[in-house]
Amino acid sequence: MKKKSTNNLQETRSSNNISQKELAEKVNVSIQTIQSIEKGKYKPSDSLAFNIANSLNKEVTDIFS
């Protein structure tokens, strides 16, 4: 059984007042990808995690553990 990845993407995104759609467009992925990451069903690649963090003006370690 695959372990859920832990992150606080939803909280970080919400606190930056950015919708899932806006974030998805910024990092060039589908909204479904953002939703899956937030639910812990999908672990982003290192480059995607970096792009997400960069788009939210955070460090990768601030969002993903």
Mean pLDDT score, 50-59: 97
Structural domains of the chain in order of their starting residue, each with its CATH number: 9-57 (1.10.260.40)
Q: Which residues have CB under 8 Å from 54's CB, separation 6+?
A: none
Please give the structure tokens belonging to residue 32. Answer: 């479904």
Three-class SS of residue 64? strand
pTM of the model: 0.89
Task: Classify the phi-psi angles of 56: left when phi > 0, otherwise alpha if psi is within -120 to 50, otherwise beta.
Answer: alpha
CA distance 42 to 18: 20
Q: For 38-52, what is each residue's pLDDT tens digit?
A: 999 999 999 999 999
- The mean per-residue pLDDT over the stretch 45-61 comes to 97
DSSP string for residues in 36-47: HHHTTS-PPPHH
pLDDT digits (tens, 9 = 90+) for 24-43: 999 999 999 999 999 999 99
pLDDT > 80? residue 3? no
